[in-house]
Amino acid sequence: MIELDHIVKEYQGRRVVDDFSLTVPEGAFCVLLGTSGCGKSTTLRMINRLVPFDAGAIRIDGADVREVAPEILRRRIGYAIQSTGLFPHWTIEDNIGTVPRLLDWPRNRIRDRITELLQLFRLAPETYRQKYPHQLSGGEQQRVGVARALAADPDLLLMDEPFAAVDPVTRDALQAEMARIHQATGKTIVFVTHDIAEALRLATVIAVMDRGRLAQWGTPLEILESPANDFVAGFVGGEASGVQLLALRTVAERLRAGEGAEGEPLSADATLRDALAAMMARHTDRLPVVDGHGQPLGAITLADLIR
């Protein structure tokens, strides 16, 4: 659990983070969402003390981050950034092994951990170990960047717009991997982005920031359905936010149990967006729904989507 307690940060008399409080529960995927310059990156970088704060306190599992030396603190927290920051003169293997080496892990354990991480990110270990960063594509470099952040198995992972600089197709794949890894590892993640779609896709909780303050805090659904103010409403897309909502709700929630329909069935855990896409593709307003084992559950109609 991470607690940010009335944090203030000033640059030349201007408050970039203004009395900001936030509690991130254990295992949460917390997205700090906001426009450029709203203080979200600064906030993230205060957690591992890359940026000093002027007032307030930050606690990780109850312990004040200022109690230990910054280097010791940072070795316990994963850190991944937009431009990866891979060491260009080190091999992929050496890059990923950075923090375990700083922590004096035995060689064998480091080697095994690197293999494990390369496999987790679907990079064939024997092909990639000895390569240098410039020999990798942007998406592969970003995977290595995240693998390096996870290397010493930290409980907390800080990510600063890690996927902002890759192409949309690669970003989509990386987001899917990130969601998978969060589910598999149960780590607490604090993730900064300005991309609302990315936030909705990955977050379990979203903190919307506006001019250094917390504009709203809630689940993706809460942020979309009941924005706290005009800023949040505008940010999540105004009337278009309904379209975003489709991606967050599942067919199961709008199911007409027991009713039937013709055609290729939808899975109950598909999103409403999938349902809409399927209806448009097949020129129909009604589709059958089945459970995970293919047993029929009922039907869903176009009208159910916008209910």
Partner 1 sequence: MNWTRRVASPVLWVAVLFFVLMLGMPQTAPLFEHAFPQVAPPVFDRDSFFALWLSHAGMVLVASGAASLVGIGLAIFVTRPAGDDFRGLVGTLATIGQTFPPAAVLALAVPALGFGPRPTIVALFIYGLLPVIENAIAGLDGVPAAVRDAARGMGLSAWQILRDVDLPLAAPLILAGVRVSVTIAIGTATIGSTVGALTLGTPIFDGLAADKVPFVLQGAVLVALFAILTDMLFGRLENWLRPPGLARAA
Q: Which residues bind partner 1 (CB under 8 A)?
A: 45, 48, 50, 70-75, 79, 81-91, 98-99, 102, 132-134, 145, 148-149, 158
173's enclosing H/E stretch is helix 168-185
CA-to-CA distance for 200 and 228, rounded, in angstroms? 16
CB of 15 to partner 1, least distance (A): 23
Q: Which residues are paired to 154 by β-bridges?
A: none
Residue 1 gets which letter from DSSP?
-
Phi, psi of 295 (to 5 degrees): -80, 130
Nearer to partner 1, 79 or 128 (CB): 79
CB atoms within 10 A of CB 168: 8
CB of 291 to partner 1, least distance (A): 45
CB of 99 to partner 1, least distance (A): 5
CB of 161 to partner 1, least distance (A): 12
CA-to-CA distance for 34 and 153, rounded, in angstroms? 29
The token duo for 113 is 């951990």
Nearer to partner 1, 50 or 302 (CB): 50
User: Strand order in 266-267's β-sheet?
Assistant: 256-257, 296-301, 286-290, 266-267
Closest CA to 66 of 80, 79, 47: 47
- 3 state SS of 13: coil
- 3 state SS of 51: coil
Nearer to partner 1, 90 or 116 (CB): 90
Nearer to partner 1, 148 or 182 (CB): 148
Q: Is the Cβ–Cβ distance between 20 and 213 less than 8 Å? A: yes
Nearer to partner 1, 187 or 201 (CB): 187
The token duo for 146 is 């995240």
Nearer to partner 1, 141 or 193 (CB): 141
Nearer to partner 1, 110 or 275 (CB): 110
CB of 274 to partner 1, least distance (A): 37
Contact partners, residue 27, CB within 8 Å, separation at least 6 = 186, 187, 188
CB of 133 to partner 1, least distance (A): 7
Nearer to partner 1, 98 or 241 (CB): 98
Q: How far is CA 92 from CA 77, 84, 260, 270, in A?
A: 20, 12, 54, 37
CB of 135 to partner 1, least distance (A): 9
CB of 165 to partner 1, least distance (A): 10
